[in-house]
Amino acid sequence: MALVESIDIPLGSPMPQFQLKDPYGKSYNSENIAGEKGLLVVFTCNHCPYAKAIWPRFVKLAKASKKRGINTVAINPNIHPDYPEDKPEMMIKKIEELNIDFPYLIDESQTVAKAFGAQCTPDIYLYDWK
């Protein structure tokens, strides 16, 4: 059982804006990755057993969501020496291993995670553009 629970945000809350890089050094922002109908934002990592468990299903969900106009972004807020599995090189390995076709971004300062209210991994947010 997780020691920290996710924070519920009110429905209709605006999505925090962000700009982050992937482990290859490419920069993304919340506007250029948004889908026509929405954006699925998942705070995840490589070392957490809960995050590890959902990765395969999460990749399938992202592919299905894209067909519906909803893009996906994964954000890793756990870049820290205590978590060697979350180093950028290991993120690249995860991208290749699971054939991830959406951005997997680095939030080294955890600024974006804090803006969203993410408390643990995985924490999942869905924004639509209604």
pLDDT in tens, 16-34: 999 999 999 999 999 899 8
Q: Is 97 a member of any domain?
A: yes
Query: Cα-flanking dihedrals φ and ψ of residue 110, to 5°?
Result: 65, 15
> Given a cut of 80, is residue 130 above it in pLDDT?
no
In-domain check, residue 10: no
| Residue 69 placed within a domain | yes
Percent of the chain with pLDDT over 90: 78
Which residues span the domain enclosing 24?
Answer: 19-128
> Span 40-61, mean pLDDT?
95
Strands (E), the chain: 19-21, 27-29, 38-43, 70-76, 104-106, 123-128
* CA atoms of 58 and 55, how far apart (whole Å): 5
Give the pLDDT confidence score for residue 61 in this predicted structure: 95
99-114 per-position pLDDT tens digit: 999 999 999 999 999 9
In this structure, is residue 4 part of a structural domain? no
Report yes or no on 14 lying in a domain: no
Residue 27 burial by Cβ neighbours in a 10 Å radius (0-12, 13-18, 19+) = exposed
Q: Is residue 3 part of a domain?
A: no
Asked if residue 13 belongs to a domain, the reply is: no
Q: What's the whole-model pTM score?
A: 0.92
pLDDT at 6: 66
Q: How many domains does the chain have?
A: 1
Q: What CA–CA distance (Å, rounded) separates 106 from 87?
A: 9
- Is there a contact between 13 and 129 (Cβ–Cβ < 8 Å)? no
Domain with 50 in it: what CATH number?
3.40.30.10
Name residues whose C-beta falls within 8 Å of residue 64's C-beta, 6 or more positions apart in sequence: none
* 59: in domain: yes
d(Cα 21, Cα 23) in Å, to the nearest integer?
Answer: 7
